[in-house]
Structure formats: structure tokens, C-alpha cells
Amino acid sequence: MHIHIGDLVALLYLGVVSWGVISLVHTVQGHPFALAFVKFALLATFGECLRRRIASGSWIADHLVIRAIVWGFFGIWIALALMIMSAGVHAATAATHLPPLFVAFLVSLWINVFSGYGFFMMLSHFMTDRIIEEGFKSPLRYLTSPTFGPWARMVSLCLVFFWTPAHTITFMLPDQWRVLFAAYLSVALGLLLSLAAHAGRRPVG
């Protein structure tokens, strides 16, 4: 894979959007869901485009605008879920006086593993991804297809070994750095789910 002008444009895009996300923190402080929509629409979609570049040499993913809009709404859902579950774990551990690192780890573990939210969110994206590419079908058609098993295995491993430590770090950071780190995690989410979907489409055996 050779570097060409599109790669430089992509790096510039990533830098400009990262700077824009940090700037938006100060201008939309009372509107966290608007920030989440913009962040995921621009950066998680970039992650999908990055997978496309690695796989085929082209940066432009199919149905790009639709994917960006879907990611924006996923961003709102994710932001709300993180707020609720983080507050719940902090309330449950308030009387224990646990070290901040351990509390952050418990929040991350609850979100990604024990609550089931992490897998359900990624399963929801798996379904929307299939709808975008193949049109509406019965959910059972997607869940019983040969592509689902490899996808589920990859996602489960990512939740335990990538997202749990990544979100632990996120909850330990100061607010401004947390926003920036979470922005790059949005890229990682788009990339990993795109890779998982691609892995699921490969022939088995």
C-alpha cells in the first residue's frame, strides 16, 4: 500500500476534526449530545474509511453520508449510556473509598462486559451495517448467517482486551484530555467494527 495524496488529506482531516472537537467542548458545554453526534459522525466514520483504505486502497466507504448519520445517533446513545452507567457505578461504590483507578476499571468493566451494553451496542451496529449494505431483512437472517459467528468472537475479544482497558484510561483523564482520547476511540470503534464486519464476511474454512 503506497502513500498518496489522499492519505495526507486524511491526516489533515483527522487533525482538523480533533482540534474542532476540543474547541466545541468550550462552545457546547450544555449540549453534550450534540457534541457526541458530531464527534461520532466525523470520527467513527473516519475509522470505517480507514479500514476501507487498508483493504482496498480507497478512502471512500460506500453509503458514506448514511453511515455518518447512523454513527451520529449511535454517538448520542453511547454518550447517554456512559453517563448513566458511570453515575450508577460511582453511586454504588461511594461508601467504599476505593482508589480512583479501581473505580474507573469497575465502570469500564460494567459498561463493556457485565451489563451487556457493549455487546448489544455493537450488535445494533452490526444490524444497521447490514441494513445499509443489503437492505431490510428479518433480524434472524443476519443472526443466523455464517458471518455472525466470526464477528461475535472478534467483538467479544475486543470488549475484554481493548475496550475495558481503553475506557479505564478514559475515565481517569481530565475532562479536556478525556474528550480528545474519546475522540480517537471513536476512530478505533469505527475501524474495529468495520474490521469485525469484514472478518465476518470472509469464507469460513
pLDDT tens for the chain, 205 residues long, are 566 787 788 888 888 887 887 777 777 667 888 888 988 898 888 888 887 777 777 787 788 899 999 999 999 999 899 889 989 999 999 888 889 999 999 999 999 999 999 999 999 988 898 888 888 888 788 788 887 888 888 889 989 999 999 999 988 887 667 767 877 887 887 777 777 766 655 544 4
Residue 145 DSSP label: S
Helices 100-109 and 64-92, axial angle in degrees (round to 10): 130
Nearest-angstrom CA–CA distance, 69 and 42: 9
pLDDT at 201: 56
Nearest alpha-carbon partner for 166 in 187, 195, 194, 151: 187
The pTM score is 0.82
Q: Where are the alpha helices (DSSP H) in the chain?
A: 5-27, 32-56, 64-92, 100-109, 117-134, 139-143, 148-158, 164-172, 175-201
pLDDT at residue 205 in the model:
42
Report how far residue 52's alpha carbon sits from residue 14's, in angstroms, rounded to the nearest whole number.
Answer: 16
C-alpha–C-alpha distance, residues 120 and 118, integer Å? 6
* SS3 at position 57: coil
pLDDT at 32: 82
| Residues whose CB is less than 8 angstroms from the CB of residue 16 and which lie 6 or more positions away in sequence, other chains included | none
